[in-house]
Amino acid sequence: MPGRVEIHHVESSLLEGNQLGDPSRRRVPVYLPPGYDEEDRDYPVLYALAGFTGSGLSFLNYDWYQESLPARLDRLIEDASMPPVAVVMVDGMTRVGGNQYIDSPAVGRYASHIVKELVPWAEQTFRLKPGRDHRGVFGKSSGGYGSLMMAIEHSDVFGAAASHSGDSYFQYCYAPDFPKAADGLRSVGGLDAFMEKLRAWPKFPGKLFHTLNIVAMSHFYSPNDDAPHRFDLPFDEATGERREDVFERWLERDPVQIVGRHADELKTLRLLWIECGSKDEWNLHHGARILSARLKDLGVPHEHAEFEDDHKSLNYRYDETLPKLAAALQ
């Protein structure tokens, strides 16, 4: 018998009054494994973080070629590839297109929402094994970055983490797009016009995706309450020249730069998995290699995998990591 999905509405006091005006009532799908209704037992839990432009509901999407997350979990559990787990699919959608799952005054306290509100809510609502050793987190792209940051900064809450093509080594994954973002802003009349039009286009212009990405990341990495839009761009809007003082603030949120300060905590994890395709369009395979090398030098146990693929349609990789996470959390 397959598992089932419930969609809950979770009220967040920490997200109330956020700067973007996003709803504090979040829609959270929860996967309950086969046997949940028949067996009187508690389950480990995974928290799923969606990539940029996605949210918790995205994990339920039908795809003609790849399974939804619940269908994949059903198959892996039913064929005994992994033990049963519950999965909470985090709603991180924002007005700027997604989330990095860190706290930012320009966006909201999303890391705090997860660790201080969502985790306690889930353990009060469902039959879950309590404690960090039975909680894991995973995601791809921005979700992979969020998983890394949960492992780095919240290892007291999560005992295992898997990052699929997660953002790291910002010099390679973001900085090359600064000129494209500057050109995009100029093409629409500047940052003020871009922010005004952001949710007004009937269809978001694909040619402005790099602009959207850098503007969104600026909300997370360089918030500034004194700036007109409450964040600083990492380049001069008029000339495109990189603003090194702002980019330094971005680097303070780069996993490669900060793992050294959290090595002892990371050594307590039951599993830390880092992977990326060798043809990643955002150069994230380099970031994964560099991060793995830093972790190795620090003596932090982890697994690093690289495979021949790019950044798109990588859900099939969950076939390898979900069983590893579930096994680590038993």
Looking at residue 1, its pLDDT comes to 85
Structure tokens at 196: 């005004």
Compute the distance between CA of residue 262 and CA of residue 285 in angstroms, rounded to an integer.
22
Per 3-state DSSP, the chain is made up of helix, strand and coil in percentages (nearest 5) of: 40, 20, 40
Domains located in the chain, CATH noted: 4-168+255-328 (3.40.50.1820), 172-251 (no CATH)
pLDDT of 257 reads 98
According to DSSP, residue 115 is labeled I
Q: What is the pLDDT of residues 19-75, one digit of tens each?
A: 999 999 999 999 999 999 999 999 999 999 999 999 999 999 989 999 999 999 999
Q: Distance from CA of residue 207 to its chain's centroid? A: 24
Count of positions (residues) in the chain: 330
Which strands sit side by side in the sheet containing 4-11, from one edge to the other? 4-11, 25-32, 86-89, 45-49, 135-140, 160-164, 271-277, 303-307
Residue 188, pLDDT score: 98
Q: Which residues of the chain fall short of a pLDDT of 70?
A: none
Can you spell out the DSSP letters for 26-75?
Answer: EEEEEEE-TTTTT----B-EEEEE--TT--GGGGG---SSS--HHHHHHH
- Dihedrals phi, psi of 82, to nearest 5 degrees: -150, 150
pLDDT tens column, 289-315: 999 999 999 999 999 999 999 999 999
Q: What is the pLDDT of residue 233?
A: 98
pTM metric for this prediction: 0.98
